[in-house]
A and B are shown apart, each in its own frame.
Chain A
Amino acid sequence: MEESPVLFYIGSFGVSSIIITMVVITILLVLLGYVISRRVSIVPGKLQNAMEMLLGSLQGLVSDMMGEKLGKRYFPLMATLFIFIIVCNYSGLLPFAGEVPGFAAPTSSLSVTAGLAIIVFIATHYFGLKEHKFSYFKHFFKPIVFLFPIFLLDEFIRPVTLSLRLYGNIVGEETLIGKAFEAFPLILPLLPQMFALFMGFLQAFIFMLLTCVYIGGAAGEEEL
């Protein structure tokens, strides 16, 4: 679990290539959103049409998992997580990712995935407290009081598995592609790369689905 080397310092803040890639991805996504939303028309252009299709299918998915009302309310968080993670995963497939200083897939660092998982952890309990006020804590003691330690442990294991799942999968497939390049650089790397295309989507999808399940469970309508 080695960290990526620090390239230069801003004050006492070390900047590694993962931070640079993350900032570039964020700027690109914000620019994309700005450019598309600047000229929204009733008859959509090509780019607007593509984005509307993506967001529409995501909205349907989130609504399926959490219910209509909650799905609409927490959709921005889910869509942000999904789009950011999938772009981060696919950035590792570009040529020279991980080889050139200043360019590495952000999700191949445990710090990034742990940060995302901590956001989900805090959001889960914040939204749960916001929806149910103080009675939110009651669901730790149901159905039986002395299962409380296990429920508490479960709450703290969730961010650990969430972050390690994403990190492990991305690092694993990148190692696989690297080894394939070392063994036979002509055609062999295509197979793990196709696998990585699929897994990059699937991991972003699973991250979003699990966030839906966690937040839906904490902030859900049903009696806790």
Chain B
Amino acid sequence: MDLGYIAVALSIGLATIGPGIGVGIAAAGTFSAMARQPEMANGFRNYMFVIIAFMESYVIFGLLFALIILGRLG
């Protein structure tokens, strides 16, 4: 029973590690691109949001599994 709650915490906690690093790398790349070509800044920003949204979906899978396990715990 108690182990179930640990599983919930682990499934969302571990799922955030990789995308967190990935979002950092993507944002760093976008900012250096924006500094080099300020006239393209809007386009870079839009594409950055799309990429970040794709990375975020892995966190969302973790959240989904956390919610499913929480539902099983009752």
Residues of A within 8 A of B (CB): 1, 61, 64-65, 157, 161, 164-165, 168, 202, 205-206, 209-210, 213
Contacts and interface: CB of A to CB of B under 8 A. Distances in A.
A139 to B, nearest CB: 19
SS class, residues of chain A in contact with chain B = helix
Contacts of B60: 161, 164-165, 168
A61 B43 CA distance: 9
Nearest to B64: A164
A17 to B, nearest CB: 21
A164 B50 contact: no
B64 A210 contact: no
B53 A209 contact: yes
A206 B53 contact: yes
Interface residues of B, number: 15
A209 B71 contact: no
Contacts of A65: 46
Nearest to A163: B60
A77 to B, nearest CB: 18
Given A161-B60, A165-B57, A165-B60, A210 B50 contact: yes
Nearest to A61: B46
Interface string B51-69: 0110011001101100100
B49 A202 contact: yes
B37 interface: no
A157 B60 CA distance: 12
Interface string B39-50: 000110010011
Contact of B46 (A157, A168, A209): A209
B50 A161 contact: no
B45 to A, nearest CB: 10
Contacts of A61: 46
Nearest to A166: B60
A1 B42 contact: no
B46 to A, nearest CB: 6
Contacts of A168: 60, 63
Nearest to A157: B57
Given A64-B43, A168-B63, 16 more contacts: A1-B67, A65-B46, A161-B57, A161-B60, A164-B60, A165-B53, A165-B56, A165-B57, A165-B60, A206-B50, A206-B52, A206-B53, A209-B46, A209-B53, A210-B53, A213-B50
